[in-house]
Every structure is written in C-alpha cells, then in structure tokens.
Amino acid sequence: MNHTTGAAEDYLKTIYTHTEWQSDLISPSALAVRLGVAPSSVTEMVKKLAASGLITHVPYGPLALTDAGRLRATAVVRRHRLIETWLVGEMGYDWDQVHDEAEILEHAISDRLLEAINTRLGFPAHDPHGDPIPAADGTVLRPPAVLLAEATVGHAGSVLRVSDRDPAVLRELAADLIGPGTEFTLAAALTIVLADGQSRLVTPAAAASIWVTA
C-alpha cells in the first residue's frame, strides 16, 4: 500500500536535501520552485505524503520529514549519489554532467543493480561533489560545514562539498582545480590561497556553492 512513485521520491528527496547543510525547514513555495512545479501541485502531494505518514505538515506551515519519510528520502539520495559517483568514476562523465542523468536513474534502477554499482565502486562515502552517500540504513555522516561565502577572512580549511545545482559553477571550479578535499586559506572575500601558494578568485556564485570545514 506504500509504493512511493518517482514524483513522490523527488518531493521527499528535495525536502531532505534542503535541510542537509542548513537547518531551516523548507516551505511549500520553496519546494515548488526547486521542483519546478506550481504551488498547488505541492499542496496536493503534501497531502498525500502526510496521509502516508512520510511528512508532517500544519496548514500554512513548513514541511518536515517523519522518521519513515527520512528513511525513504535518504534511500533516494543514496541512489542519486551512487549513480553520480558511478557516472564520473566509470562512465566518463564530468562532475557537472551527472545530475540530470542521476535525477532519472535514481527512480529506475533496482536495489540489486545499485548494490552491484556500490560494490564496483568500493563502497564510496562521498559523491563527486563531496556530498555524503547515506548508508542503506539511512545513516548519514555529515561533518560541520560553513559556506565559503560566509566564512571569515583568514579562515583556513578544506573544501567539503560543492552544490551540484549550477553546472557552470562546477565547470568554473574544475578549471581552477578546486573540489572536495582542496585545502585553502581565505585571504580576502572571494579570494582563496591554495596549499601550493597559488591564489584563486572565485565568483560569488561559487562562494555560495562551496561548503568548507568549520
């Protein structure tokens, strides 16, 4: 009686990822924007997900996952990120090209194929963008992080993850050899110095996409 369609999976996943690196709950309208659907469509799906016990929702209020919903959401996120990792690791994709393909395949592959991929990849802990890959039981290991745009000048650390929302940002950073694991010091707003002493000017869009060690 609880099948969860591809559409519902995307709603759950988006509700989950919204609170992954920041703590405020998502609103129906923000969810509509992220999913590219009308607000009224969100209202409808929210009703169904709440009726299935996957989210909680007080009318006119924000959305929150229940434990059951969080488990479903992390299962989808796990698929999405393992697929992205596989596309980059084995299929010749660049990190700015994987998101759309994963967005579809995450609803199509079987558990068996997912585990075959996972095994081939050696059970990776992070996707190409540095996002943690949830374990099958829903466990997620997420270190404390700060947005580069909000870090104070002088902050030293390493890149934890880069949002994969904007492919242009990903290409920009790839050209600059910046990615998860890159060590740096924030020399000035939008200016980082890498371990080898080279400095890089990042765009505001990039600074708002890069999360670094706290």
Partner DNA sequence: GCCAGAATTTAGGCTCACCGAAACCCTGCT
Partner DNA sequence: AGCAGGGTTTCGGTGAGCCTAAATTCTGGC
Q: Which residues bind a copy of itself (CB under 8 A)?
A: 87, 91-93, 100-101, 104-105, 107-110, 112-113, 116-117, 120
Q: Tokens 């697929």 appear where?
A: 83
Nearer to DNA, 28 or 130 (CB): 28
Q: Which does 27 bind (CB under 5 to 8 A by kind): DNA, Mn ion, a copy of itself, none?
A: DNA
68 contacts: CB under 8 Å, gap ≥ 6? 53, 54
Say if residues 124 and 133 touch (Cβ distance below 8 Å). yes
Whole-number Å distance between alpha carbons of 97 and 155: 31
Q: Which does 87 bind (CB under 5 to 8 A by kind): DNA, Mn ion, a copy of itself, none?
A: a copy of itself
Which of 5, 198, 199, 203 touches DNA by CB under 7 A?
5
Taking the complex as a whole, the smallest distance from the CB of residue 153 to Mn ion amounts, in Å, to: 29
Site residues (CB under 7 A) for DNA, limited to 16-55: 27-30, 35-48
Say if residues 134 and 77 touch (Cβ distance below 8 Å). yes
Between the alpha carbon of residue 146 and those of residues 22, 38, 110, 143, the distances in Å are: 9, 32, 35, 10
Which of 8, 11, 160, 164 touches Mn ion by CB under 5 A?
164
